[in-house]
A and B are shown apart, each in its own frame.
Chain A
Amino acid sequence: EAGVTQSPTHLIKTRGQQATLRCSPISGHTSVYWYQQALGLGLQFLLWYDEGEERNRGNFPPRFSGRQFPNYSSELNVNALELEDSALYLCASSLYLAGVEQFFGPGTRLTVL
């Protein structure tokens, strides 16, 4: 069974540009989660999509947005990039049931210059 996949592996942008990160969940999983893993800060929850709807959002500005497609894959968009957006962005997927574990992808390393 294929795991969660993310693309691209690395992304280099300059300040003010937009970044688009993509995630494909495990087959059968309807929920997709996005996290930011910045150095020394652990994983910070960004967004949760289930059945195409945004279900929960972390404490991030509106320039962090995303969507979930009918095939349950998801896209994270970061507009007006700032230097502090440099981080590893992790996607996870799960079945939607309260308390089930999330399965993580390898991440996209975003560097903002």
Chain B
Amino acid sequence: AQSVSQHNHHVILSEAASLELGCNYSYGGTVNLFWYVQYPGQHLQLLLKYFSGDPLVKGIKGFEAEFIKSKFSFNLRKPSVQWSDTAEYFCAAKKNTGFQKLVFGTGTRLLVSP
């Protein structure tokens, strides 16, 4: 079955620390990849997405992610986190054919201490 794994369930960082959240997917073939973020009390919103082309994707708020096909990975990174990055982060994947559902990982809760 198609699945998405996020390795870290909870991450605690100090402001200015670097962030890397792991994400692996189990799909073969062409896949679309996403990172969504849910800030406290807010809607789930898109951080960045990968469809094709440059495997290094830039998103909003200084986030980026790298698609490594050989490792089935799409890790999220930010060089220097801020207190306002405290949120839950979800990786998601979808096969790029027909009516394929979007499958989410279980999420990573990030707490950034000031």
Interface residues of A (CB under 8 A from B): 3-4, 33, 35, 40-45, 48, 50, 55-56, 58, 90, 92, 98-99, 101-107
Contact = CB atoms under 8 A, between A and B. Distances in A.
Contacts of A56: 99-101
B84 to A, nearest CB: 20
A42 B109 CA distance: 11
A104 B45 contact: yes
A101 B96 contact: no
14 contacts: A41-B106, A42-B90, A42-B107, A43-B90, A45-B101, A48-B99, A48-B101, A56-B100, A58-B101, A103-B46, A104-B36, A104-B43, A104-B45, A105-B43
Nearest to B107: A42
Nearest to A104: B44
Interface string B20-56: 0000000000001010100000011110010100000
Contacts of B49: 99, 101
Given A45-B102, A99-B96, 4 more contacts: A42-B107, A45-B101, A98-B98, A104-B43
A3 B107 contact: no
Interface in B76-114: 90, 92, 94, 96-107
Contacts of A45: 101-104
Contacts of A44: 104
Contacts of B105: 42
Contacts of A42: 90, 104-107
B32 A106 contact: no
Contacts of A40: 106
